[in-house]
Amino acid sequence: MDLMEFQGKDVFRAHGIPTTPQGQIATTAEEAHRLATEYGAPVMVKAQVLTGGRGKAGGVTYCPDAAAAKEAAEAILGLDIKGHVVHKVLVEKASDIAEEYYLSLLHDRVSKGYLAICSVEGGVEIEEVNRTQPEKVAKVTIDPTAGMTDELANQILDSGAMPAETRDQQVDLLKTLYDGFVAADATLFEINPLIKTTDGRIIALDSKVSIDDNALFRQPEIESLEGPVPPGEMGDDLEAKAKEQDLQYVKLDGDIGIMGNGAGLVMSTLDVVAQAGGEAANFLDAGGGATAESMAGGIAFVLGDPAVKVMMINIFGGITRCDDVANGVLGALDMLGDVTQKLVVRLDGNSADEGRRILEESGHPNLVSASGMIEAAEKAVALAKEA
């Protein structure tokens, strides 16, 4: 379960992690004006969506007075940030920033433990820093049986080239962050930026928090956050709609719709699309026992995303028969009618020959067949670039 910034900061506060003074949510410009008047200028008005890049998209604004806060909220509410429509903004007192850093804790499947990532280069896209200046991004494995000791905390902070003058605060924050991360059953605690204020305090200016869905029964306060929020306001609209339809769907930022049967196969499909130079628009797992009906529903859902230029369907037939999949693909196209996107279909496994025969003999102009996964990805990427 991914949390918005204001929810993540509430989790931080609950576990004693220093962050910004408590702000409040506004859903109208008038509410933002009232809150800014109440807090006293200056304030920050920040879009609450489950995606990064809010600042570059105009979703984060410094406001020197209440009138500016109202104007900022008017501009941000309704804004589309990477397919995420802004329904609410966080209004909080602005902080005086002296320096910006990066710090995160996450699950590490390689070491089967936790990983700390630390960098003195905060406040920017850490992925870009990692690509261009990897020596400035420290990645240190944490042994869960040993936990976060003073020695390990200093090792992490030294590796990230963090400044020495506020080291005691940094160590305390990192140890508190680790304790909160474990207690909250989190899979990610990210602070970008972690800041030093002009009066020398180290606090989390932002939050990115993900909680293990399988442990939500131990986190009733966090689990209850989702309920009161109307569909379409808890993260991406498409993800909310997918959840209503019991689809295993995640919205991404690219233009190639992805559908497969089984999470592992879909993840591999994302990789080969990236290797072919493309970018996935989503992750949709049709499940190991996909039927013609479920395939049709999934295809209709993916093609309903206006960002999708091409769809790649990658099926390995096991329990799922590929001839059923082929009939599902054709049924979906009949149901949808005026489809403009091309569908690159790769079938393998149970009844794959029969499935490919059905698709080929249909002569449908939107269908493109591929015999292998890499070939399918390359065709999908090429078609997306032409579209």
Return the active site residues: 102, 190
Q: Strand order in 24-26's β-sheet?
A: 24-26, 89-93, 43-47, 60-63
How far apart are the C-alpha atoms of 110 and 101, rounded to whole Å? Answer: 25
End-to-end CA distance of the chain: 34
* 247 CA to centre of own chain: 17
Q: Are 279 and 255 in contact (CB under 8 A)?
A: yes
Q: Are 163 and 157 in contact (CB under 8 A)?
A: no
DSSP state, 254? Answer: S
Q: List all residues 6 or more positions away from 349 whose beta carbon is below 8 Å from its beta carbon.
A: 315, 316, 317, 318, 322
Position 185, amino acid: D
Give SS3 for 100. strand
Q: Phi and psi of 116, rounded to 5°?
A: -105, 135
Helix, strand and coil content of the chain, in percent to the nearest 5, comes to 40, 25, 35
Q: What is the phi-psi region of residue 378: left when phi exceeds 0, alpha when psi lies from -120 to 50, beta otherwise?
A: alpha
